[in-house]
Chain A
Amino acid sequence: MSDDRHPHPVPLAWRLLDRIEGLVAALWPFRSGLAVGRAFLLPAVLLVGLLLAGLGIMLEHSMHELSLATYRLKPEYSAANYLTFLERPVYIHVLMRTLLAAVIVTLVTITLAFPYAYVLVRTRSRSARKFLLVALFLPFFIGQVVRAYGWLIILGKEGILSTFLTRFGIDPPGMIYNYPAVIFGLIQYMLPFAILLIVPAITAISEEVELASEGLGARWPSTFRHVVLPMASPGIVGASVVVFTLTLTDFAMPEILGGGKNDFIANLIYDSFFQISDPGLGSALSIILVAVGSILVAGVFHLAGPGTLGVRGVRP
């Protein structure tokens, strides 16, 4: 039909497709949807399995102490690495520093991200929406190292802000290689994640609900507090969990902006592996980090549900 040069026009694509159909039917004799579903799932399950396999090996390593004579892990099992974590105050101290950072970063990031997400959804101007989307995605698509480097240029000892302040006769305070710099860098890094997770929750709120609240005489701050915020709570929960866990496990910001004096747990893990070459201790710290993170997230989900993080399953 489509090709009138041939008397019996069967397009090549059709013939090819028939071959493939035959081949698939021969290779895959199952008719049930369940078997197809399992086959579709298998590659992803295997790929994620790599992660679990590696984690299994790390769990095994974590139960062997490093022998200082041979610099290898001793063959016998022991809890020495976990005891080291509990006995040395530095580890608990760093864990507390990391947890505190995670709390601060989560609170500030959500506070800043919420109005942004709200305006992004509610604005009537197409160009404003586009601008806000691009401003959001540009840093999201630029990695942590590049962004940390940008902050080094701005906040560094000979950085732009210092030079600027000096010009006005102000002695610049140390703005880099301290805890606030790490927190600041992390907030900037987390903002896109938080906004993207809050947005679906705000989209789901009908604008008429807000109008109704204002029509009944509520001022906008009350409408915001009593209507918008509670209705957007799935987004806030989802965003908080993601920002909290990403901060809890971050490596690059404390490494680059912290100047070696503001390490997080991830930096300790790195140092155990590559500075003191003790994979047993590093593995134990990793397992502890996974456990602390999982317990906290499970607690939040138990109290508040999975929020916008919930993956929707089969339709009812």
Chain B
Amino acid sequence: MNGVSGERSKGIVLRSMVGLVVAMLSLPTVIVIGASFTAGEIIRFPPDGLSLRWYSELWQLDDFRQALWRTFHVSIICTLISIPVGTLAALASVRTRFRFGGLVRIYLLLPFTIPLVVSGLSLMTLFGHARILGQLWPVGVGLCVINLPFMIWSVSASVNHLDPELENAASSCGAPPVQAFLTVTLPAVAPGIITGALLMFILAFNEFLVSLFLTDSRTVTLPVQIYNSIRSVITPDLAAVSVLYIVIAVLAIWLLDRLVGLEIFLKSR
């Protein structure tokens, strides 16, 4: 009953489902890459020849170039804020026994439980009251707030795997608190910090909805610029911008794999 034929049917079923999901996941990426190299004015299949013209045309569009730099700008602000804030919060929320520890953890998950559209509007309303809309740094702060749980999550996973006895050993060997923190705690949680920082950067780089609310025509960032440029006629210039996103995603995945290994996401929590 079991044995070879059972194994085989299981293999066939699983493999075909996984194949379907891989196709669904990859199709838009593959198509966008293909479309960006077309020589024609519109995207057609088969394409009207191959060229790099849309890449060079794109580079000459000031709007897109500036939007790209702004996107880097806000993503870096977001990442730089999230590293210390998220690391310290993760250490505290895992290690310290607070009286309302459960509530604190739920509170820190609020950015995930409040819908993005509401978070974006609430930050827009708040920043509007504070008269800081129209600048780039509040956008970075906003993106940091909405994704902060990712940072806390990543670092918490590392903290959970760190034996507190190591730090106790450091202090009983005479290391003062700051030294113990810098030489024992930080290196031990570094994989979590790296994972979290990469996630924060890439998510900020991609965030569309909250950026839509926090930017205006002078501070528009790339995801919003792409959205604004999507028309019913599909032109290949947007495909070229999208390829830029794909390249950055590939770089981030490569870095993540090199620095901590993608398999870190397969661990049971």
Contact = CB atoms under 8 A, between A and B. Distances in A.
B217 interface: no
Nearest to A255: B227
B32 A149 contact: yes
B95 A314 contact: yes
Contact of B115 (A41, A142, A154, A248): A248
B109 interface: yes
B96 A37 contact: yes
Contacts of B31: 150, 153-154, 160
A60 to B, nearest CB: 10
B32 A146 contact: yes
B88 A48 contact: no
Interface in A82-124: 112-113, 115-116, 118-121
A13 B148 CA distance: 32
B242 interface: yes
A234 B32 CA distance: 36
B121 A154 contact: no
- Interface SS of A by simple majority: helix
A139 B85 CA distance: 28
Interface stretch (B51-59, B62-70, B260-268): B260-268
B269 interface: yes
A135 B26 contact: yes
Interface in B143-200: 144-146, 148, 152-153, 156, 160, 176-179, 182
> Interface centre among A160, A187, A293, by most B CB within 10 Å?
A160
Given A55-B122, A149-B230, A196-B265, A34 B206 contact: no
Interface in A110-156: 112-113, 115-116, 118-121, 129-130, 132-139, 141-154, 156
Contacts of A293: 113, 115
29 contacts: A17-B182, A43-B88, A44-B86, A45-B89, A45-B104, A48-B148, A50-B123, A51-B119, A51-B122, A51-B146, A52-B110, A58-B125, A115-B18, A133-B265, A143-B207, A143-B208, A143-B245, A146-B223, A146-B246, A149-B28, A150-B27, A152-B234, A191-B21, A192-B25, A204-B268, A219-B2, A282-B121, A290-B118, A313-B94
Interface of B: 1-2, 6-7, 9-10, 13-15, 17-18, 20-22, 24-29, 31-32, 35, 42-45, 81, 84-86, 88-89, 91-98, 101-102, 104-105, 107-111, 113-119, 121-127, 129, 141-142, 144-146, 148, 152-153, 156, 160, 176-179, 182, 202, 205-209, 223, 226-227, 230, 232, 234, 238-239, 242, 245-246, 248-250, 252-253, 256, 262-263, 265-269
Interface of A: 17, 20-21, 24-25, 33-34, 36-38, 40-41, 43-45, 47-48, 50-55, 57-58, 61, 112-113, 115-116, 118-121, 129-130, 132-139, 141-154, 156-160, 163-164, 187-188, 191-192, 196, 199-201, 203-204, 214, 217, 219-220, 245, 248-249, 251-252, 256, 266, 269-270, 273, 279, 282-283, 286, 289-290, 293-294, 297, 308, 311-315
